[in-house]
Protein backbone atom coordinates (compact mmCIF):
# COMPACT_ATOMS: atom_id res chain seq x y z
CA UNK A 1 0.00 0.00 0.00
CA UNK A 2 0.99 3.63 -0.27
CA UNK A 3 1.44 3.82 3.48
CA UNK A 4 3.95 1.01 3.44
CA UNK A 5 6.03 2.89 0.89
CA UNK A 6 6.25 5.90 3.21
CA UNK A 7 7.26 3.82 6.18
CA UNK A 8 10.95 3.83 7.05
CA UNK A 9 12.49 0.38 7.13
CA UNK A 10 15.34 -0.06 9.56
CA UNK A 11 18.34 -2.29 9.54
CA UNK A 12 20.61 -2.65 12.55
CA UNK A 13 23.57 -4.96 13.24
CA UNK A 14 23.23 -7.42 16.14
CA UNK A 15 25.90 -6.19 18.52
CA UNK A 16 25.68 -2.70 20.04
CA UNK A 17 29.45 -2.31 19.49
CA UNK A 18 28.82 -2.50 15.71
CA UNK A 19 26.42 0.45 15.87
CA UNK A 20 26.79 4.20 16.14
CA UNK A 21 24.51 5.23 18.98
CA UNK A 22 24.52 8.97 19.62
CA UNK A 23 22.67 10.79 22.41
CA UNK A 24 20.11 11.87 19.80
CA UNK A 25 17.56 9.19 20.66
CA UNK A 26 14.46 9.30 18.41
CA UNK A 27 12.52 6.79 20.50
CA UNK A 28 12.74 8.02 24.08
CA UNK A 29 9.19 6.98 25.04
CA UNK A 30 9.89 3.40 24.04
CA UNK A 31 13.44 3.27 25.39
CA UNK A 32 12.43 4.84 28.72
CA UNK A 33 9.77 2.16 29.11
CA UNK A 34 12.15 -0.69 28.29
CA UNK A 35 14.88 0.81 30.49
CA UNK A 36 12.50 0.96 33.42
CA UNK A 37 11.71 -2.74 33.01
CA UNK A 38 15.45 -3.44 32.70
CA UNK A 39 16.15 -1.52 35.88
CA UNK A 40 13.36 -3.31 37.72
CA UNK A 41 14.70 -6.69 36.59
CA UNK A 42 18.26 -5.79 37.61
CA UNK A 43 17.10 -4.59 41.00
CA UNK A 44 15.22 -7.86 41.40
CA UNK A 45 18.28 -9.99 40.70
CA UNK A 46 17.00 -11.02 37.27
CA UNK A 47 20.04 -10.01 35.27
CA UNK A 48 19.16 -12.08 32.21
CA UNK A 49 15.86 -10.28 31.81
CA UNK A 50 17.57 -6.99 32.52
CA UNK A 51 20.06 -7.48 29.71
CA UNK A 52 17.33 -8.52 27.30
CA UNK A 53 15.43 -5.26 27.94
CA UNK A 54 18.68 -3.23 27.74
CA UNK A 55 19.53 -4.81 24.37
CA UNK A 56 16.05 -4.13 23.04
CA UNK A 57 16.22 -0.50 24.20
CA UNK A 58 19.67 -0.14 22.60
CA UNK A 59 18.34 -1.27 19.21
CA UNK A 60 15.65 1.42 19.35
CA UNK A 61 18.21 4.05 20.41
CA UNK A 62 20.16 3.32 17.22
CA UNK A 63 17.20 3.97 14.88
CA UNK A 64 17.35 7.21 12.85
CA UNK A 65 13.60 7.88 13.15
CA UNK A 66 10.76 7.30 15.59
CA UNK A 67 9.05 3.92 15.29
CA UNK A 68 5.41 4.37 14.38
CA UNK A 69 4.40 0.91 13.28
CA UNK A 70 5.28 -2.60 14.44
CA UNK A 71 5.97 -3.58 10.83
CA UNK A 72 9.07 -1.37 10.90
CA UNK A 73 10.63 -3.64 13.51
CA UNK A 74 10.55 -6.76 11.35
CA UNK A 75 13.96 -8.37 11.13
CA UNK A 76 15.55 -6.20 13.82
CA UNK A 77 17.82 -8.06 16.29
CA UNK A 78 17.40 -8.32 20.07
CA UNK A 79 13.66 -7.65 20.13
CA UNK A 80 12.20 -10.53 22.11
CA UNK A 81 8.56 -11.39 22.55
CA UNK A 82 8.32 -9.51 25.82
CA UNK A 83 9.94 -6.31 24.54
CA UNK A 84 7.81 -6.42 21.39
CA UNK A 85 4.67 -6.68 23.54
CA UNK A 86 5.70 -3.58 25.49
CA UNK A 87 6.45 -1.67 22.28
CA UNK A 88 3.13 -2.72 20.73
CA UNK A 89 1.19 -1.59 23.81
CA UNK A 90 2.82 1.82 23.67
CA UNK A 91 2.35 2.25 19.91
CA UNK A 92 -1.29 1.13 20.06
CA UNK A 93 -2.48 2.42 23.45
CA UNK A 94 0.01 5.14 24.22
CA UNK A 95 1.20 3.24 27.28
CA UNK A 96 2.22 -0.14 28.57
CA UNK A 97 0.22 -1.37 31.53
CA UNK A 98 3.18 -3.47 32.66
CA UNK A 99 5.44 -0.42 32.76
CA UNK A 100 2.82 1.69 34.50
CA UNK A 101 2.06 -0.91 37.15
CA UNK A 102 5.78 -1.52 37.74
CA UNK A 103 6.36 2.20 38.16
CA UNK A 104 3.50 2.45 40.66
CA UNK A 105 4.40 -0.67 42.61
CA UNK A 106 5.48 -0.29 46.24
CA UNK A 107 8.39 -2.62 45.60
CA UNK A 108 9.81 -0.63 42.68
CA UNK A 109 9.37 2.67 44.51
CA UNK A 110 11.11 1.28 47.60
CA UNK A 111 13.93 -0.20 45.52
CA UNK A 112 14.49 3.20 43.91
CA UNK A 113 14.58 5.04 47.23
CA UNK A 114 16.84 2.52 48.96
CA UNK A 115 19.29 1.91 46.09
CA UNK A 116 19.46 5.69 45.76
CA UNK A 117 21.55 5.50 48.94
CA UNK A 118 25.28 5.51 48.18
CA UNK A 119 26.61 2.09 49.16
CA UNK A 120 23.29 0.25 48.95
CA UNK A 121 22.83 -2.27 46.16
CA UNK A 122 19.92 -4.42 45.07
CA UNK A 123 20.64 -7.21 47.57
CA UNK A 124 20.65 -4.96 50.64
CA UNK A 125 17.60 -3.06 49.43
CA UNK A 126 15.74 -6.30 48.83
CA UNK A 127 16.55 -7.56 52.34
CA UNK A 128 15.28 -4.32 53.88
CA UNK A 129 12.11 -4.37 51.79
CA UNK A 130 11.36 -7.89 53.01
CA UNK A 131 11.64 -6.48 56.54
CA UNK A 132 9.05 -3.85 55.63
CA UNK A 133 11.49 -0.97 55.17
CA UNK A 134 10.37 1.14 52.21
CA UNK A 135 11.53 4.67 53.06
CA UNK A 136 14.52 6.51 54.52
CA UNK A 137 12.48 7.27 57.64
CA UNK A 138 11.70 3.60 58.16
CA UNK A 139 15.36 2.74 57.60
CA UNK A 140 16.45 5.20 60.28
CA UNK A 141 13.84 3.99 62.71
CA UNK A 142 14.76 0.35 62.06
CA UNK A 143 17.94 0.55 64.11
CA UNK A 144 19.98 -1.14 61.36
CA UNK A 145 23.70 -0.53 61.62
CA UNK A 146 24.83 1.13 58.44
CA UNK A 147 28.37 1.03 57.07
CA UNK A 148 30.35 4.22 56.56
CA UNK A 149 29.36 4.63 52.91
CA UNK A 150 25.68 4.08 53.69
CA UNK A 151 25.78 6.59 56.55
CA UNK A 152 27.22 9.16 54.18
CA UNK A 153 24.57 8.16 51.65
CA UNK A 154 21.57 8.30 53.96
CA UNK A 155 22.23 10.87 56.57
CA UNK A 156 24.55 13.34 54.98
CA UNK A 157 24.19 13.55 51.23
CA UNK A 158 21.11 11.71 49.99
CA UNK A 159 19.60 14.61 48.09
CA UNK A 160 22.87 15.86 46.64
CA UNK A 161 23.88 12.42 45.43
CA UNK A 162 20.53 11.90 43.73
CA UNK A 163 20.67 15.19 41.87
CA UNK A 164 22.32 15.11 38.42
CA UNK A 165 25.85 16.44 38.05
CA UNK A 166 26.39 18.93 35.20
CA UNK A 167 29.27 18.94 32.74
CA UNK A 168 30.33 22.31 34.21
CA UNK A 169 30.58 20.70 37.66
CA UNK A 170 32.52 17.79 36.16
CA UNK A 171 34.99 20.24 34.59
CA UNK A 172 35.53 22.10 37.87
CA UNK A 173 36.19 18.82 39.66
CA UNK A 174 38.48 17.82 36.80
CA UNK A 175 40.59 20.93 37.39
CA UNK A 176 40.94 20.08 41.07
CA UNK A 177 41.86 16.46 40.34
CA UNK A 178 44.35 17.70 37.74
CA UNK A 179 45.99 20.00 40.31
CA UNK A 180 46.19 17.19 42.86
CA UNK A 181 47.73 14.75 40.40
CA UNK A 182 50.19 17.31 39.08
CA UNK A 183 51.27 18.22 42.61
CA UNK A 184 51.99 14.64 43.71
CA UNK A 185 53.37 13.26 40.40
CA UNK A 186 54.32 15.81 37.75
CA UNK A 187 53.74 14.46 34.25
CA UNK A 188 50.85 12.22 35.29
CA UNK A 189 47.74 12.61 33.13
CA UNK A 190 44.06 12.84 34.01
CA UNK A 191 41.34 11.85 31.53
CA UNK A 192 37.60 12.36 31.95
CA UNK A 193 35.90 9.02 31.33
CA UNK A 194 32.39 7.56 31.83
CA UNK A 195 29.27 9.28 30.54
CA UNK A 196 30.84 12.74 30.23
CA UNK A 197 33.43 11.37 27.79
CA UNK A 198 30.50 10.13 25.69
CA UNK A 199 29.20 13.69 25.55
CA UNK A 200 26.45 13.43 28.16
CA UNK A 201 25.45 16.79 29.64
CA UNK A 202 24.64 15.32 33.05
CA UNK A 203 25.68 12.27 35.02
CA UNK A 204 25.19 10.50 38.32
CA UNK A 205 28.91 10.87 39.07
CA UNK A 206 32.20 11.99 37.50
CA UNK A 207 34.81 9.43 36.46
CA UNK A 208 38.54 10.01 35.93
CA UNK A 209 41.34 7.78 34.69
CA UNK A 210 44.88 8.63 35.80
CA UNK A 211 48.12 7.35 34.29
CA UNK A 212 51.78 8.31 33.82
CA UNK A 213 53.65 7.96 30.50
CA UNK A 214 56.46 6.02 32.24
CA UNK A 215 55.33 2.52 33.24
CA UNK A 216 55.53 1.98 37.00
CA UNK A 217 55.58 5.65 37.97
CA UNK A 218 51.82 5.44 38.65
CA UNK A 219 52.35 2.92 41.48
CA UNK A 220 51.24 4.23 44.85
CA UNK A 221 49.78 7.32 43.21
CA UNK A 222 46.23 7.04 44.51
CA UNK A 223 46.92 7.41 48.24
CA UNK A 224 48.97 10.51 47.51
CA UNK A 225 46.25 12.07 45.37
CA UNK A 226 43.69 11.25 48.03
CA UNK A 227 45.77 12.80 50.85
CA UNK A 228 46.32 15.93 48.78
CA UNK A 229 42.57 16.27 48.22
CA UNK A 230 41.66 15.31 51.77
CA UNK A 231 44.08 17.75 53.41
CA UNK A 232 42.53 20.58 51.42
CA UNK A 233 38.99 19.66 52.37
CA UNK A 234 37.86 18.42 48.95
CA UNK A 235 36.67 15.00 50.12
CA UNK A 236 33.59 14.22 52.20
CA UNK A 237 34.15 10.48 51.88
CA UNK A 238 36.60 8.16 50.15
CA UNK A 239 37.32 4.48 49.97
CA UNK A 240 40.46 3.43 48.13
CA UNK A 241 41.00 -0.08 46.84
CA UNK A 242 44.48 -1.03 45.77
CA UNK A 243 45.40 -2.67 42.49
CA UNK A 244 44.85 -6.41 42.74
CA UNK A 245 45.55 -7.25 39.11
CA UNK A 246 49.00 -8.72 39.74
CA UNK A 247 47.90 -10.61 42.84
CA UNK A 248 45.09 -12.42 41.14
CA UNK A 249 45.71 -16.18 41.18
CA UNK A 250 45.93 -16.88 37.46
CA UNK A 251 48.31 -13.98 37.04
CA UNK A 252 47.22 -11.33 34.60
CA UNK A 253 45.83 -13.97 32.25
CA UNK A 254 42.25 -13.51 31.28
CA UNK A 255 40.56 -11.85 34.24
CA UNK A 256 37.40 -13.93 34.24
CA UNK A 257 34.83 -11.26 34.97
CA UNK A 258 34.22 -7.71 33.91
CA UNK A 259 35.17 -6.51 37.39
CA UNK A 260 38.52 -4.84 37.01
CA UNK A 261 41.37 -4.71 39.45
CA UNK A 262 42.75 -1.23 39.08
CA UNK A 263 43.68 0.90 42.04
CA UNK A 264 40.57 2.98 42.48
CA UNK A 265 38.87 5.40 44.75
CA UNK A 266 35.15 5.81 45.25
CA UNK A 267 34.68 9.23 46.71
CA UNK A 268 32.29 12.01 47.53
CA UNK A 269 33.62 15.42 46.57
CA UNK A 270 32.75 18.68 48.25
CA UNK A 271 32.11 21.00 45.33
CA UNK A 272 31.94 24.72 46.10
CA UNK A 273 28.99 26.54 44.53
CA UNK A 274 29.81 28.60 41.49
CA UNK A 275 27.43 31.46 42.13
CA UNK A 276 28.36 34.77 43.70
CA UNK A 277 27.51 35.32 47.33
CA UNK A 278 24.11 35.00 48.99
CA UNK A 279 21.53 32.26 48.88
CA UNK A 280 18.52 32.94 46.72
CA UNK A 281 16.67 29.65 47.08
CA UNK A 282 14.13 29.45 49.87
CA UNK A 283 14.23 25.95 51.19
CA UNK A 284 13.20 24.77 54.62
CA UNK A 285 14.06 21.18 55.43
CA UNK A 286 14.60 18.42 52.94
CA UNK A 287 12.40 15.35 53.00
CA UNK A 288 14.95 13.37 54.97
CA UNK A 289 15.94 16.17 57.29
CA UNK A 290 19.39 16.93 55.93
CA UNK A 291 20.59 20.47 55.50
CA UNK A 292 19.09 21.85 52.29
CA UNK A 293 21.48 22.62 49.49
CA UNK A 294 20.42 26.26 49.30
CA UNK A 295 21.68 26.94 52.83
CA UNK A 296 25.27 26.00 52.25
CA UNK A 297 27.87 27.06 49.72
CA UNK A 298 28.69 23.56 48.43
CA UNK A 299 27.20 20.33 47.17
CA UNK A 300 28.28 16.68 47.38
CA UNK A 301 29.23 14.90 44.13
CA UNK A 302 30.16 11.25 43.60
CA UNK A 303 33.58 10.95 41.95
CA UNK A 304 35.37 7.78 40.79
CA UNK A 305 39.14 7.82 40.34
CA UNK A 306 40.98 4.99 38.62
CA UNK A 307 44.74 4.59 38.16
CA UNK A 308 46.10 2.54 35.25
CA UNK A 309 49.65 1.66 34.20
CA UNK A 310 50.28 3.20 30.79
CA UNK A 311 50.61 -0.26 29.18
CA UNK A 312 46.95 -0.90 30.02
CA UNK A 313 45.72 2.64 29.46
CA UNK A 314 43.91 2.07 26.15
CA UNK A 315 42.03 -0.90 27.61
CA UNK A 316 41.15 1.03 30.76
CA UNK A 317 39.99 3.99 28.69
CA UNK A 318 37.80 1.80 26.50
CA UNK A 319 36.47 -0.14 29.50
CA UNK A 320 35.61 2.92 31.56
CA UNK A 321 34.03 5.05 28.85
CA UNK A 322 30.90 2.92 28.63
CA UNK A 323 28.06 2.78 28.16
CA UNK A 324 27.67 -0.29 30.31
CA UNK A 325 25.77 -2.09 27.56
CA UNK A 326 28.34 -1.07 24.95
CA UNK A 327 31.06 -2.60 27.17
CA UNK A 328 29.08 -5.77 27.67
CA UNK A 329 28.54 -6.09 23.94
CA UNK A 330 32.23 -5.52 23.19
CA UNK A 331 33.13 -8.41 25.50
CA UNK A 332 30.40 -10.58 24.02
CA UNK A 333 31.60 -9.79 20.49
CA UNK A 334 35.20 -10.55 21.48
CA UNK A 335 34.27 -13.90 23.03
CA UNK A 336 31.66 -15.21 20.61
CA UNK A 337 32.84 -13.79 17.32
CA UNK A 338 36.61 -13.60 17.77
CA UNK A 339 37.50 -16.14 20.49
CA UNK A 340 39.17 -13.32 22.40
CA UNK A 341 38.82 -12.14 26.00
CA UNK A 342 38.55 -8.40 26.50
CA UNK A 343 38.86 -6.72 29.88
CA UNK A 344 39.74 -3.23 31.09
CA UNK A 345 43.32 -4.50 31.42
CA UNK A 346 44.04 -6.47 28.27
CA UNK A 347 42.89 -8.33 25.17
CA UNK A 348 43.75 -12.02 24.98
CA UNK A 349 43.56 -14.01 21.74
CA UNK A 350 42.57 -17.57 22.64
CA UNK A 351 43.50 -18.97 19.22
CA UNK A 352 47.00 -17.53 19.25
CA UNK A 353 47.29 -17.95 23.03
CA UNK A 354 48.74 -14.49 23.42
CA UNK A 355 47.93 -10.95 24.45
CA UNK A 356 47.34 -8.34 21.77
CA UNK A 357 48.92 -5.02 22.63
CA UNK A 358 47.31 -1.67 21.98
CA UNK A 359 48.17 1.91 22.74
CA UNK A 360 44.90 3.40 21.50
CA UNK A 361 41.21 2.54 21.42
CA UNK A 362 41.43 2.50 17.62
CA UNK A 363 43.92 -0.38 17.79
CA UNK A 364 41.64 -2.38 20.08
CA UNK A 365 38.69 -2.01 17.70
CA UNK A 366 41.00 -3.07 14.87
CA UNK A 367 42.16 -6.18 16.80
CA UNK A 368 38.50 -7.01 17.32
CA UNK A 369 37.70 -6.60 13.64
CA UNK A 370 35.29 -3.78 14.42
CA UNK A 371 34.88 -0.41 12.79
CA UNK A 372 36.08 2.29 15.21
CA UNK A 373 33.22 3.83 17.16
CA UNK A 374 34.10 7.13 18.87
CA UNK A 375 32.94 7.75 22.47
CA UNK A 376 30.06 10.03 21.40
CA UNK A 377 28.60 7.09 19.45
CA UNK A 378 28.88 4.54 22.27
CA UNK A 379 25.66 5.67 23.97
CA UNK A 380 23.93 2.30 23.60
Q: Which residues are catalytic?
A: 205, 207, 304
Q: Does 312 bind ligand TTP (CB under 6 A)?
A: no
Interacting residues of 131 by C-beta distance below 8 A, sequence separation 6+:
142
Which residues in 329-360 are b (16+ Cβ under 10 Å) and which e?
Answer: bbbbbbeeebebbbbbbbbbeeeeeebbebee
Stretch that binds ligand TTP, among 34-42, 51-59, 197-205, 209-217 (CB under 6 A): 197-205
* Site size for ligand TTP (CB under 6 A): 16
Closer by beta carbon to ligand TTP, 309 or else 322:
322
The contact pattern for Mn ion, residues 73-92, with x = CB under 5 A and - = no contact, is ---------x----------
Q: Does 39 bind ligand TTP (CB under 6 A)?
A: no
Residue length of the chain:
380
Q: Are 202 and 167 in contact (CB under 8 A)?
A: yes
Q: Are 86 and 70 in contact (CB under 8 A)?
A: no
Of 316, 99, 283, which is closest to residue 193 (Cα–Cα)? 316
Q: Does 205 bind Mn ion (CB under 5 A)?
A: yes
State the minimum distance, in angstroms, from the CB of residue 375 to Mn ion: 13
Picked from ligand TTP, Mn ion, none, the partner binding residue 324 (CB below 5 to 8 A depending on kind) is: ligand TTP
- What are the phi and psi torsion angles at 239 (to 5°)? -135, 115
State the minimum distance, in angstroms, from the CB of residue 203 to Mn ion: 5
Q: Does 344 bind ligand TTP (CB under 6 A)?
A: yes
Picked from ligand TTP, Mn ion, none, the partner binding residue 260 (CB below 5 to 8 A depending on kind) is: ligand TTP
Residue nearest to Mn ion (CB): 194
Stretch that binds ligand TTP, among 144-152, 178-186, 192-200, 213-221 (CB under 6 A): 192-200
Q: Does 42 bind ligand TTP (CB under 6 A)?
A: no
Using CB under 5 A, pick the residue from 207, 218, 329, 361 that binds Mn ion: 207
The contact pattern for Mn ion, residues 291-320, with x = CB under 5 A and - = no contact, is -------------x----------------
State the minimum distance, in angstroms, from the CB of residue 357 to ligand TTP: 20
Of 205, 246, 208, 240, which is closest to residue 222 (Cα–Cα)? 240
* Site size for Mn ion (CB under 5 A): 7
Burial of 1 (0-12, 13-18, 19+ CB in 10 A): exposed
Burial of 113 (0-12, 13-18, 19+ CB in 10 A): buried
For 251, the enclosing helix (H) or strand (E) is none
CA angle 259, 178, 210 (to 5 degrees): 25
Q: Which residues 203-262 are close enough to bind ligand TTP by CB under 6 A?
A: 203-205, 207, 259-260
Query: Strands, E, within 247-352: which ranges?
Result: 263-272, 298-307, 340-342, 347-349
Closer by beta carbon to ligand TTP, 20 or else 324:
324
Residues making contact with ligand TTP (CB under 6 A): 194-195, 200, 203-205, 207, 259-260, 319-320, 322-324, 327, 344
Amino acid sequence: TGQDKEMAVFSVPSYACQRRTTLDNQNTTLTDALSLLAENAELSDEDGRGVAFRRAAAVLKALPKPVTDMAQLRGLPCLGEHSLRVIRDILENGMSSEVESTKQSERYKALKVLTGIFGVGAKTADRWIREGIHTLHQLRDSGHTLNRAQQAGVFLHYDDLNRPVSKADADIIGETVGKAVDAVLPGAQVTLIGGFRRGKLTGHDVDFLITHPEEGREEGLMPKVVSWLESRGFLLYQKTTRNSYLECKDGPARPPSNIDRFERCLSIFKLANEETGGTTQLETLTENGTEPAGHRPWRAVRVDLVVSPVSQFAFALLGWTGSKLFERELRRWAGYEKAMSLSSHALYDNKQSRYLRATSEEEIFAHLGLEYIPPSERNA
